[in-house]
């Protein structure tokens, strides 16, 4: 059984929080990440906070094996750093075909005026590495002896485990509207960030998918250039307490109210079967750290119920605080799980 976690807006939706919660609650046998080091995920659990860029956020469950799919890209330095910080080296595996970013790609990207100034790249070398991969000149994990202790055939391993009945959690990167194909080109990333792209990057066909959980924050944020409908100025965002700082770049995120039109389209593009909402407490301060639906303030419950009516997909997970366990889980009530 494979469950996919995908971002519904422009990234920064709280996928790391939801992935860490699901790992602790469901104990998947394997958690696999796609994407690259240009997207950061923040994980908070038991008064600890980690800012990670490449390993799965499910590392908080020490019984879960962690993997990188063949479509992923990483730098060796960032990978080793995160494995040490999270004490995950003994349960981490990566596919032979994971692309490796070096200082050369980072330098080339940071000196590309179009990417850095016009598009608003994070400057992590990901776009240049992807381009080299297409040109068949990028080196892969199998080319680096120091990575040999981690490398395996990831798609084969995943399929074997799924066919045994194991649960797999696939954690996507960034968000739907940063997709190279479905986002607002050219203000996009260098890969397809939708659920179909996640499947492609991990090497699994759609028949193994059980659920696709799309994550929306209670408001929309975006880092870098590109359209943002209903964008609030910094003073308005500050007044509402919605200012955030990006994990990788340290830039302030641009802010806009929840966009129902974008949410509906993202659900369609990803064929989402469940919706997760994060940062409900940003809109409704009395929802902070509430872990039972009935204890939410009435206006927060009304907001959730009205949103679910419009999206026509069950809202099963609601984040109410930073900690992974600050989550209201309605899957049993709504899905019988």
Reference 317, options 10, 26, 56; nearest CA is: 26
Is it the case that residue 13 has pLDDT exceeding 90? Answer: yes
Mean pLDDT over residues 299-316, rounded?
98
Max Cα separation, the chain?
58
With beta carbons less than 8 A apart as the criterion, state whether 221 and 172 touch.
no
Confidence class for position 40, pLDDT limits 50, 70, 90: confident
281: annotated binding-site residue?
A: yes
Please say if the pLDDT value at position 117 is more than 90. Answer: no
Q: How far apart are CA 19 and CA 5, in angstroms?
A: 7
Q: Quick check: 259 pLDDT over 80?
A: yes
Distance separating alpha carbons of residues 108 and 138, to the nearest angstrom: 14
Domain map (residue ranges) of the chain: 2-94+152-335
Instruction: List, as one string, the DSSP characters of 80-139.
Output: HHHHHHTT-GGGEEEETT-EEE-HHHHHHHHT-HIIIIII----SSHHHHHHHHHTT---
Pair of tokens at residue 291: 């872990």
Q: 133 and 99 in contact (C-beta within 8 Å)?
A: yes
Is 222 annotated as belonging to a binding site? no
The answer to whether the CB of 213 falls within 8 A of the CB of 273 is yes
Cα 147 from Cα 151, distance rounded (Å): 6
Q: What pLDDT, on a 0 to 100 scale, did the predictor assign at position 245?
A: 74
Instruction: Look at 56-60, 110-114, 165-169, 309-313 and tell me which has the smallest mean pLDDT.
Output: 110-114
62 labelled ligand-binding: no
Q: What local confidence, expressed as pLDDT, does residue 37 receive? A: 86
- Whether pLDDT at 170 is above 70: yes
Calculate ∠ Cα 54-57-61, nearest 5°.
135
Q: Read off the tokens for 277.
A: 């909402």
Is residue 38 annotated as involved in ligand binding? yes
Q: Can you read off the two tokens belonging to residue 125?
A: 């070398």
CATH of 2-94+152-335, one of 1.20.272.10, 3.10.20.30, 3.30.2010.10, 3.40.440.10: 3.40.440.10
- For residue 247, the model assigns a pLDDT of 62
Q: Which two tokens stand for residue 97?
A: 């075909």
* Residue 176 annotated as binding site: no
**N- to C-terminal Cα separation, the chain:** 14
Does residue 280 have a known ligand-binding role?
A: yes
With contact defined as beta carbons under 8 Å apart, do 67 and 31 qualify?
Answer: yes
Q: Is the pTM of this model over 0.75?
A: yes
How far is 182 from 91, CA to CA, in rounded Å? 34
**Amino acid 277: pLDDT:** 98
Residue 161 pLDDT level (bands cut at 50, 70, 90): very high
pLDDT at 102: 96
- pLDDT class for 234, splitting at 50, 70, 90? confident
Active site residues: 12, 41
Please indicate if the annotation marks 189 as binding a ligand: yes
- Is 40 annotated to bind ligand? yes
pLDDT at 337 over 80: no
Residue labelled with tokens 């080196």: 139
**Is 64 annotated as ligand-binding?**
no
Q: What is the pLDDT of residues 129-156, one digit of tens each?
A: 999 999 999 999 999 999 999 999 999 9
């Amino acid at each position: 059984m494979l469950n996919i976690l995908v971002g519904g807006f422009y990234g920064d939706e709280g996928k790391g929080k939801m992935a860490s919660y699901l790992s602790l609650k469901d104990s998947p046998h394997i958690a696999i990440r796609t994407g690259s080091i240009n997207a950061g995920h923040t994980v908070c659990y038991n008064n600890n906070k980690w800012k990670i860029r490449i390993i799965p956020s499910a590392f908080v469950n020490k019984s879960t094996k962690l993997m990188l799919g063949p479509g992923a890209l990483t730098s060796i330095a960032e990978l080793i750093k995160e494995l040490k910080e999270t004490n995950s080296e003994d349960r981490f595996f990566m596919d032979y075909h994971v692309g490796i970013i070096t200082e050369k790609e980072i330098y080339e990207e940071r000196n590309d005026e179009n990417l850095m100034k016009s598009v608003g790249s994070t400057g992590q070398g990901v776009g240049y590495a992807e381009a080299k991969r297409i040109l068949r000149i990028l080196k892969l994990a199998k080319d680096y002896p120091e990575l040999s202790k981690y490398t395996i055939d990831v798609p084969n391993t995943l399929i074997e485990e799924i066919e045994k009945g194991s649960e797999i959690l696939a954690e996507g990167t960034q968000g739907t509207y940063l997709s190279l194909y479905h986002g607002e080109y050219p203000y996009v990333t260098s890969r397809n960030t939708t659920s179909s792209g996640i499947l492609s990057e991990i090497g699994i066909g759609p028949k193994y998918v059980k659920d696709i959980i799309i994550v929306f924050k209670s408001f929309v944020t975006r880092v870098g250039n590109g359209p943002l409908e209903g964008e609030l100025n910094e003073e308005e965002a500050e007044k509402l307490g919605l200012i955030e700082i990006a994990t990788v770049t340290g830039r302030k995120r641009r802010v806009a109210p929840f966009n129902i039109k974008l949410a509906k389209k993202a659900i369609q593009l990803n064929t989402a079967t469940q919706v997760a909402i994060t940062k409900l407490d940003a809109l409704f301060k009395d929802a902070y750290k509430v872990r039972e639906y009935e204890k939410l303030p009435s206006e927060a419950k009304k907001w959730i119920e009205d949103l679910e009516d419009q999206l026509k997909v069950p809202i099963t997970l609601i984040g109410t605080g930073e900690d992974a366990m600050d989550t209201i889980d309605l899957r049993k009530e709504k899905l019988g799980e």
